[in-house]
Structure 1
Amino acid sequence: MKVLILAGGLGTRLSEETHLIPKPMVEIGGRPILWHIMKLYSHYGLNEFIILLGYKSYVIKEFFSNYFLHKSDVTFDLSKNTMEIHEMHCEPWKVTLIDTGLMTQTGGRVLRAKSYVGNETFMLTYGDGVSNVDIQKLLAFHKSHGHAATVTAVQPEGRYGNIVSDKDDKIANFMEKPPGDGAWINAGFFVLEPRVFDYLKDGDNTNFERTPMENLAKDGELYSFKHYGFWKAMDTLREKNKLQEMWDKGNIPWMLD
């Protein structure tokens, strides 16, 4: 099963870091947050990734093209123009990097990956949020209801898109960033069926969190998987520093390996 990761946004609320690199490449514990997200999926045996690029896409391409250099000891023999990599450490990942446009909206980025996904269930998440969500249970829940889409829902401090679901976890309403605290919100970590592409009708201008999710909810095709464990987005420098502080103290609930 393929995992799509949205990694193309401008990251303006984290401009202290993102004036040089895209937000998914901001490091926590010496590794990009993108790497941390991929490690979660890999823990559950999902190792085929499609990274949806936009802003400063070349930085992410260079990271993966030189992955061994980032993870291993290396000897360069300049006289022979050779490179020897020692004790190679790598993950069993297959990574496809797609340039989806600088200003393309989230739904438009997903739509551009349609030919790579094929006619199979796939996963989707944001490139700036870490969690210890149980991917195996998430997938089992998605299969149990048999509908087009599942979104992982959490209860953080507030300020995100509000999810209203019924007793069976079918979403009755989706409202982006309402006032108030304590609501279940969109945490990413989606499971989607290929027919979701039919809801992305505005091409590059499709904001996945707006009309597509609202219409999926109206059609009874969107369900929420409630996650009671750890989840944290990295939208601001304060949140980045908090994650780094947790790492430094060895309090890393999102690292399962």
Structure 2
Amino acid sequence: MKYAIIAAGEGSRLIYEGVVEPKPLVKIGGEALLGRLIRIFKQNNATEILVICNEQMRSVHQYLLKESSTMVRTIVKSTHSSMHSLYELSKNMTGEPFVLTTVDTVFREDEFADYADTFIKSASNGVDALMGVTEFVDDESPLYVGTGDNMTVNGFYDTVPLGGCKYVSAGIYGLTTRTLETLRKCIERGESRMRNFQRALITDGLCVKAYPFSKAFDIDHTKDILRAEEFVREGGIE
């Protein structure tokens, strides 16, 4: 299975708070966020890992040169948004399902292994997208995910919808090639946010399901680095 990592953001909030390293190279448990994802993906039957980073991240380019192999490939391009980063990655994602994450997503490795296995089985049974979700809400602008029977996703919301909502997005996306047509149309319409792409999947009638992670969060501030370190100590990452 193919994997993709969006590492194109500048991490401006971390820089403002005094973090010297670019976000992809911030270390958690002695391991760079980018290196951690590459390792985890290799452990979960990766056939190819694509990473997109922006043109200003020279230290990230150097790091990836050391990782370069027939499995790990790098796209160096500055993009307008995460959706545009996905669009650049998608040009190399034809032919088989793939899993996409942002570089700063932290999750339990054992849960990810089950997620990856579940996605492959789901994709072979007609599921077009398997979105990682969590009940742990710690994002400044969470994307709420509505679910129905059998964890079928019925909506993505910027605020808690009427009737409540159990889950938020965990920044982990399992996508089949059928979703790429929806992505192309989003780009042509001038959309720029990943959440609008996810909404479009529902509008286009694709089968989108959710997979619950016990806890998942992003590294946006220095306090998140400390939280992730604690997560490591508690066994959240092997």
TM over 0.5: yes
Q: Is the 8 A contact 2:64 2:74 kept in 1?
A: no
| CA offsets 1:132-168 (integer angstroms, 9 cap, x no match) | 2223433245326513222111111354100001113
Q: 1:55 to 1:22 in 2, by over 3 A?
A: farther
1:113 aligned to 2:89?
Answer: yes
Larger gyration radius, structure 1 or structure 2: 1
Q: Which moved more, 1:229-238 or 1:10-19?
A: 10-19
Where do 1:88-103 residues align within 5 Å? 94-101=71-78, 103=79
Measure the CA separation in 1 of the matches of 2:76 and 2:18.
18
Q: 1:114 to 1:9 in 2, by over 3 A?
A: same
Q: Report percent identity of matched pairs.
A: 19
1:168 aligned to 2:168?
Answer: no
Measure the CA separation in 2 of the matches of 1:55 and 1:254.
30
> Please, which of 186, 190, 197 is the counterpart of residue 173 of structure 2?
190
Residue matched to 1:240: 225
- Structure 2 residue runs without a partner (length 5+): none
Residue type of the partner of 1:167?
D
Where do 1:64-213 residues align within 5 Å? 64-66=64-66, 94-101=71-78, 103-132=79-108, 133=112, 134-140=114-120, 142-143=122-123, 145-159=125-139, 160-176=142-158, 178=159, 183-200=166-183, 201=185, 202=187, 206-213=191-198
Q: Is the 8 A contact 1:154 1:185 kept in 2?
A: yes
CA displacement at 1:112 relative to structure 2 = 1.2
| CA offsets 1:43-88 (integer angstroms, 9 cap, x no match) | 22225210011263322220132459xxxxxxxxxxxxxxxxxxxx
Measure the CA separation in 2 of the matches of 1:182 and 1:172.
11
Q: 1:182 to 1:163 in 2, by over 3 A?
A: closer
Q: Is the 8 A contact 1:26 1:33 kept in 2?
A: yes
Measure the CA separation in 2 of the matches of 1:120 and 1:128.
25
Residue matched to 2:48: 48
- Structure 1 residue runs without a partner (length 5+): 69-91
Q: 1:175 to 1:196 in 2, by over 3 A?
A: same
TM-score (norm 1): 0.76
Measure the CA separation in 2 of the matches of 1:173 and 1:252.
32
CA RMSD after TM alignment:
2.8
Q: Is the 8 A contact 1:105 1:205 kept in 2?
A: no
Q: Is the 8 A contact 1:33 1:127 kept in 2?
A: yes
Residue matched to 2:33: 33
TM-score (norm 2): 0.82
CA displacement at 1:217 relative to structure 2 = 1.5
